[in-house]
Amino acid sequence: MVEIEIDGTTLQVVEGSTIIEAAHQMGTYIPHFCYHKKLSIAANCRMCLVQVEKAPKPMPACATPVANGMKVFTHSELAVKAQKAVMEFLLINHPLDCPICDQGGECQLQDLAVGYGESASQYEEEKRVVPDKDLGPLVATDMTRCINCTRCIRFTAEIAGFMELGQSYRGERAEVMPFIGKTVDTELSGNIIDLCPVGALTSKPFRFSARTWELSRRKSVSPHDGLGSNLIMQTKHHRVLRVLPLENEAINECWLTDKERYSYQGLNSEGDNGRLTKPMVKQGGEWKEVDWNVALDYAAHALRDVAKTHGGSAIGGLLSPHATLEEMYLAQKLLRGLGSENIDFRLRQSDFSADGKRKGTPWLGMKIAEIGELDRVLVVGSFLRKDHPLIAQRLRQSAKRGAQVSVLHSADDDLLIKLEARAIVAPSQLPAQLAEVVNAVAALKGVAADPALAKVGAGDTAKKIAASLVSGSEGSKCGVLLGNFAQQHPQAATLNVLAQQLARLLGGRFGFLGEAANSVGGYVAKAIPTGDGLNAAAMLNTPRQAYVVVGAEPELDCADGAQALASLTQAAAVVVLSPFKSQAMLDYAAVLLPVSPFSETSGSFVNTEGRVQSFYAAAKPLGESRPAWKVLRVLGNLLKVEGFEQNSSEEVRDEALGGAPEFVSGLENAVNVAPNLEAAANGLERVADVPIHFADSLVRRAPALQKAADSAVPSARMNAATLVKHGLLAGDAVKVMRSGIQSDGAGDTAQVTLVAQLDNGLPDNALRVAAAHADTQALGAMFSVLSVEKI
Amino acid sequence: MALIDTINPLLTTGWGKGDAGWSLKDYEARGGYAQLKRILTSKMSQDDLIAEVKKSVLRGRGGAGFPTGLKWSFMPKAAPEKYVVCNTDEGEPGTFKDRDLLRFDPHSTIEGMIIAGYAVGAKRGYNYIHGEIFEIYQRFEAALDEARAAGYLGENILGSEFSFDLFAHHGWGAYICGEETGLLESIEGKKGQPRFKPPFPANFGLYGKPTTINNTETFAAIPFILGMGGEAYLNLGKPNNGGTKLFSVSGHVNRPGNYEVPMGTPFAKLLEMAGGMRGGRKLKAVIPGGSSAPVLPADVMMDCTMDYDSIAKAGSMLGSGAVIVMDETVCMVKALERLSYFYYEESCGQCTPCREGTGWLYRVVHRIEHGQGRQEDLDLLNRVTDNMMGKTICALADAAAFPVRSFIKHFKSEFEYHVEHKKCLVDPEVQRAGSGFFRASSATEAA
Ligand SMILES: Cc1cc2nc3c(=O)[nH]c(=O)nc-3n(C[C@H](O)[C@H](O)[C@H](O)COP(=O)(O)O)c2cc1C
Ligand code: SF4
Ligand code: SF4
Ligand code: FES
């Protein structure tokens, strides 16, 4: 610690901190533009100039480190004169057309100009005009307003991890721009809008739709990935018009993924595939809009009939992992009240062998913020950058400070993280490869590995990963993280056990990167089968008479969408509670109950670290839609199921959690199963990712995101050797089939037509075809053996 | 422009034969590489070597005049990876000495850099050469090949424990790449933009490693200093201003060119060596240290000696040693307009006061020159320069401000005349007579 004095007040600050940080610590504001606590120091705007005793010139507070005994004056004549001088320079070429600028009302330049600017300028030359840039569908530009603070440039390079923007030309003609003909395509691009202190970068979808002071603000929680990023929802006339990050160091820091920022557009989606706003029932093959009581009666009758004639187990409940805790809790209670144990929210999972053998609720195994403290990390089975962009971002920063990150996966997508080692193997080889790493670590540690793993030995790649994992010095922290792909894997339980063994050998921790907002919450809400109950895969494998679907589109959200569609279609009664409609739903459902998306209901998500985050509705329910917890409550009453007396979502939550804890209890990743290292697949194995903008029903309906680079049409990706082996060239149109089904034979449905594409990040004999997409849904299971033919 | 005259030649010893004396063989014949050999065979300690350089009071020839020995001593001893970088970006208007140094005697710079590498414990050096003097870059590459072949560069130089290699790197002509940290960014392959300091290059330099960066002439002086001893070198000049210095004399003199004279030589003597004023006209003003040094009126200049202290006392800077001589035919407003345009063009654009201020200055000077000046413009110019100076990342903003302030300070009446009468105080015909450019065209007219 060093002692310094700012404006006459003495304070202790950490050595190495800068004047601006010290001032911040004592609550003194120093005007600034280029400085941002998460970015490197550029010291280019010069707005933060302050006087430092003995220094002949004013010093930039953002870049000047404190020194013991330093005396700083932030408001002295010298300081204020310098600050005003800089403000004058900033304004001479600024358009000053705030009334028509989208940033008006929330502009740092506008705010500071009030304090440091003069009412008239002596600059009477012509102002600079800078051509706008095309940064893609999400970020609008008005480059004449740019003050060249380079925050956006530093963000894309340092946080998003890829140099996408730069400053071209020099002097007065300096311009911020992307590479010629390129757009800004990171999954975090929207953050540059928040960072831009002026109106140079604004939200393209939001553009000119409202003035900021007309907007109401509500805190909320992201319904997408397992982080539960904190949001500020901005509404006008009960429509969400913009979403901004609510800073929370423990979760999303001050960032949002583009998915979280722009998915709100789906909340306002219209048309055949848009919001469902009226209850509907199918009568004689015809859909009719009806009153709520008619629809609810209809649903209750249908379910009661099936339960009566076929028993409760003839009903299956498929719950979206993006549904709220309250919705899941009431849904499982309703199903159990009807005598069904067939309840699941783990729709993309395919291995349920750990059920009943878990010691608790699987979770991240640590706090989100603790990921950034890991020194040695192994990420297993994860499209990390797209599945968990903000965790990737944390690891990116860790790698820069010296943490070693290794990857074990079936695709070598560029994570924009400096990797220490990587093993890219076909999906069926993932368990054996992880077992090799366990063996190699055991060998390095001089302890005996699990004898069950002996037969796989340890190859060079595994040894390299192991060497990195054990290379940390005394007290360094190791972590093994299992991604979505690992959780969806047909040997997920084995991967779980192996990670558990590995963490034990390393004295580190392991956990699951929660796929969805309520991947932990679903367990807590008891939305999983017990006893003889059928899990998500089983209740589709052995079709039921009736299904209750809450918030999901099973044909896109399940591990085998084709099978889900078939099972739902054959069912006598499908009751759907959904904020959206779709053609598929109209085909298989008997009744459609319009329920509120997260923005129009109160509820809770339990994030991947077990944190309970409750939120209120940001807007009134659209049309006749109603919060799903209320709909389920009424259904419970109609079906005379006990325990449906709750009067608020808080009551439901408190019942589900036994109170309102900050973190849920019972989090535990250990399972008690024997590892199974038999590689099942043989042939051309499918590698299925869930593209970031197709992962759930809300984001699939967000138009701007659907235009982004990440929403490209799925292709059939193979490495060069695999292309050659199948006599293909990149660009060929190909027929991709589930193995065993010939192009002329039966089961014609299990084939899709795609364009072959070269992807040398794939292992041999792997064919990457994205899941969760209408174009590939017919292909069925995410993990399967495929064949490919040139058309 | 080759050397025309010299007093006490050191740096220019080998220049006499023009393009014929640059080779390694010639340099060795003049005693070249003897100092490197002596240091390596005697295993001279780094501390002793730096002490010798300190004794010479050699001050950086790139512009700031920082004591070289002191700069070298800032290099952290323990760091495993360090660099020595030579600044041959030479973009300051009026300066043309470094390119002649490399053209006529590249090996003195090479030897100086190797010795510097030895002194600071660096194994690698780069020479950043201005992009618009490509043939000099080629000359330097040729000299490097010679040195490498002779074993002066590479592993275990001359059988010693010391290894050092040196590479040439050419820029593309941006003035800002001469600023030392902008230069380092440029070598790293980035846009040439100065870094905020501290940290200084001695701690965080090329690729983030400790780096010593000096001007070409600074390095070239090293072998001579070690040859004659630090004290003798100091005594060539005057206290606190050791040795000899190259001056690039340009403008209205009869023999523009590079002149090597001892520090402390009277300006009058230098002017005389340069053949005196062209056409016998009257001296009006001199910019004594490159375009960013404040201009001095004739009478002040005639009282100066050519060294850091004397010029500083007179209110300007010795800078890079570019002496721009202006006679009575010069319109000071027009001259300033040209200078201001240069800084407006060359600002890198990072910092607000420089990015916005250089353009503002140029536009106001431009409109004064073009008869659209206003009464308040001179105060405005002073205020804008005041708002720029000392508020930016590098010294370019100051460099842009100094000419404006000094031109207005010393030649205010000319500016006022322009504003008031919307034309030059110096009759255009007189200007025409004084300018080589104009004269050439009138010759055409005559023919
Ligand atoms: C805008 C600007 C341009 C500069 N250009 C040069 C140059 O062309 N050559 C040079 O040697 N130094 C130049 N300098 C000075 C260098 O930053 C640095 O001080 C010098 O290279 C140090 O070497 P020395 O100590 O040997 O003088 C420039 C400085 C500034 C601010
Ligand atoms: S666009 Fe905005 S964030 Fe980027 S440099 Fe310009 S002002 Fe700064
Ligand atoms: S003072 Fe000018 S040239 Fe120097 S860093 Fe700032 S903008 Fe660039
Ligand atoms: S905030 Fe310090 S220079 Fe920009």
Give tens-digit pLDDT for A677-715.
Answer: 987 767 999 999 999 999 999 999 999 999 999 999 999
Asked whether B396 lines ligand 3 (CB < 6 A), one says: yes
Higher pLDDT, A73 or A743: A73
Beta bridge partner(s), residue A404: A376
Contact B360 A125 (CB under 8 A): yes
**pLDDT at residue number B3:** 53
* Helix boundaries (H) for A510-599: 521-524, 536-541, 554-557, 561-570, 583-588
Contact A148 B359 (CB under 8 A): no
Neighbours of A372 (CB within 10 A): 17
Question: Of the ranges A93-97, A738-742, A743-747, B60-64, which one carries the lowest mean pLDDT score?
Answer: A743-747
Cα–Cα dist A477/B65, whole Å:
50
Q: Pick B353's closest partner by Cβ from A85, A148, A172.
A: A85
Closest approach of A98 to chain B, Cα-based (Å):
20
* CA B43 to centroid of chain Cα atoms: 33
pLDDT, tens digit, 9 for 90 and up, residues A599-641: 999 999 999 999 999 999 999 999 999 999 999 999 999 999 9
Q: Helix, strand or coil for residue B215?
A: strand
B297 Cα: distance to centroid of ligand 2 (angstroms): 44
**Host H or E run for residue B272:** helix B267-273
User: Burial, A393: exposed, middle or buried (Cβ in 10 Å; 0-12, 13-18, 19+)?
Assistant: buried
Task: Give me the percent of chain A exceeding a pLDDT of 90.
Answer: 91
Amino acid symbol at A588: Y
| End-to-end CA gap in chain B | 29
> Which pTM does this prediction carry?
0.94
**pLDDT at residue number B447:** 34
Within 13 Å and on the Cβ side, how many CA atoms surround A498?
A: 33
Residue with tokens 């599945």: A387
Who contacts A237 (Cβ-Cβ below 8 Å, separation ≥6)? Answer: none
Q: Pick B393's closest partner by Cβ from A44, A82, A150.
A: A44
Q: In 3D, which of A462, A429, A423 has the Cα closest to residue A443?
A: A462
| Residue having the nearest C-alpha atom to atom 29 of ligand 1 | B179
pLDDT, tens digit, 9 for 90 and up, residues A149-166: 999 999 999 999 999 999
**pLDDT at residue number B405:** 98
pLDDT-based confidence at residue A741 (cuts at 50, 70, 90): low
Q: How many CB pairs below 8 A link A and B?
A: 94
Who contacts A69 (Cβ-Cβ below 8 Å, separation ≥6)? Answer: A2, A3, A4
Closest approach of A392 to chain B, Cα-based (Å):
26
**pLDDT at residue number B445:** 38
A204 Cα: distance to centroid of ligand 4 (angstroms): 28
Beta bridge partner(s), residue A235: A216, A240
pLDDT, tens digit, 9 for 90 and up, residues B396-446: 999 999 999 999 999 999 999 999 999 999 988 888 888 765 443 333 333
Given a cut of 90, whether residue A99 has pLDDT beyond it is no
Cα–Cα dist A68/A13, whole Å:
9
Cα–Cα dist B317/A633, whole Å:
85
Pairing mode, strands B296-297 and A684-687: unpaired
Pairing mode, strands A733-738 and A751-758: antiparallel
Contact A56 B191 (CB under 8 A): no
Q: Does B391 touch chain A (CB under 8 A)?
A: yes
Cα–Cα dist A496/A184, whole Å:
37
A46 Cα: distance to centroid of ligand 3 (angstroms): 11
Asked whether A165 lines ligand 2 (CB < 6 A), one says: no
Q: Does A755 touch chain B (CB under 8 A)?
A: no
Q: Pick A89's closest partner by Cβ from B174, B344, B356.
A: B356
Contact A147 B393 (CB under 8 A): no
* Phi and psi, residue A717, nearest 5°: -100, 135
Cα–Cα dist A184/A190, whole Å:
9
Q: Helix, strand or coil for residue B133?
A: coil
**pLDDT at residue number B438:** 43
Q: How confident is the model over A289-310, as a mean pLDDT?
A: 97
Is the separation of the CB atoms in A159 and A115 below 8 Å?
A: no
Within 13 Å and on the Cβ side, how many CA atoms surround B382?
A: 10
Q: Pick A171's closest partner by Cβ from B348, B388, B391.
A: B348
User: Burial, A543: exposed, middle or buried (Cβ in 10 Å; 0-12, 13-18, 19+)?
Assistant: middle
**pLDDT at residue number A436:** 98
Q: What is the mean pLDDT of chain A?
A: 95
Per-residue b or e along A743-765, where b marks 16 or more CB atoms closer than 10 Å to that residue's CB: eeeeeeebbbebebbbbebbbeb
**Strand order through the sheet with B296-297:** B5-6, B257-262, B244-251, B322-327, B283-287, B296-297
**pLDDT at residue number A749:** 61
Neighbours of B79 (CB within 10 A): 14
Higher pLDDT, B317 or A97: B317
pLDDT-based confidence at residue A282 (cuts at 50, 70, 90): very high
Q: What is the DSSP letter of A143?
A: G
Asked whether B351 lines ligand 3 (CB < 6 A), one says: yes
Cα–Cα dist A651/A701, whole Å:
32
Given a cut of 90, whether residue A645 has pLDDT beyond it is yes
Higher pLDDT, A568 or B6: A568
Cα–Cα dist A201/B340, whole Å:
32
Contact B349 A173 (CB under 8 A): yes
Closest approach of A43 to chain B, Cα-based (Å):
7
- Helix A77-92 crosses helix B352-369 at what angle (to 10 degrees)? 70
Cα–Cα dist A435/A730, whole Å:
34
| End-to-end CA gap in chain A | 71
Given a cut of 90, whether residue A96 has pLDDT beyond it is no
Residues of B within 8 A of A171 (CB-CB) are 344-349, 355, 358-359
Given a cut of 60, whether residue A306 has pLDDT beyond it is yes
- Any idea what the Cα angle at residue A526 is, between residues A520 and A530, rounded to 5°? 120
Beta strands in A564-715 (DSSP E): 573-578, 591-594, 603-606, 612-615, 684-687
**pLDDT at residue number A740:** 59
| Residue having the nearest C-alpha atom to atom 8 of ligand 1 | B90
Amino acid symbol at B160: S
Contact B349 A172 (CB under 8 A): yes
Q: Does B349 touch chain A (CB under 8 A)?
A: yes
* CA B156 to centroid of chain Cα atoms: 33
Residue with tokens 């536009």: B363
A176 Cα: distance to centroid of ligand 2 (angstroms): 7
Is the separation of the CB atoms in A307 and A315 below 8 Å?
A: yes
User: Burial, B255: exposed, middle or buried (Cβ in 10 Å; 0-12, 13-18, 19+)?
Assistant: middle
Q: In 3D, which of A286, A737, A724, A94 has the Cα closest to residue B352?
A: A94
Q: pLDDT in tens for each of the 447 residues of chain B?
A: 445 567 788 999 988 788 889 999 999 999 999 999 999 999 999 999 999 999 999 999 999 999 999 999 999 999 999 999 999 999 999 999 999 999 999 999 999 999 999 999 999 999 999 999 999 999 999 999 999 999 999 999 999 999 999 999 999 999 999 999 999 999 999 999 999 999 999 999 999 999 999 999 999 999 999 999 999 999 999 999 989 999 999 999 999 999 999 999 999 999 999 999 999 999 999 999 999 999 999 999 999 999 999 999 999 999 999 999 999 999 999 999 999 999 999 999 999 999 999 999 999 999 999 999 999 999 999 999 999 999 999 999 999 999 999 999 999 999 999 999 999 999 888 888 887 654 433 333 333
Which-ligand-closest: CA of B193? 3
Residue with tokens 């053998």: A357
Is the separation of the CB atoms in A312 and A295 below 8 Å?
A: no
Is the separation of the CB atoms in A221 and A231 below 8 Å?
A: yes
Q: Pick A89's closest partner by Cβ from B196, B345, B353.
A: B353
Q: How confident is the model over A136-146, as a mean pLDDT?
A: 96
**pLDDT at residue number B4:** 55
Residues of A within 8 A of B347 (CB-CB) are 170-172
Is the separation of the CB atoms in B377 and B408 below 8 Å?
A: no
**pLDDT at residue number A682:** 78
Beta bridge partner(s), residue B170: B129
Whether a cis peptide bond, with omega within 30° of 0, leads into B198 is yes
What are the structure tokens assigned to A60, written together?
Answer: 């930039």
Q: How confident is the model over A48-55, as a mean pLDDT?
A: 96
**Host H or E run for residue B112:** helix B106-120
pLDDT-based confidence at residue A473 (cuts at 50, 70, 90): confident
Whether a cis peptide bond, with omega within 30° of 0, leads into B428 is no
Cα–Cα dist A517/A222, whole Å:
7
Asked whether A456 lines ligand 2 (CB < 6 A), one says: no
The chain B residue lying nearest A79, using CA atoms, is B391
Q: How confident is the model over A421-436, as a mean pLDDT?
A: 97
Q: In 3D, which of B349, B343, B354, B348 has the Cα closest to residue B389?
A: B354
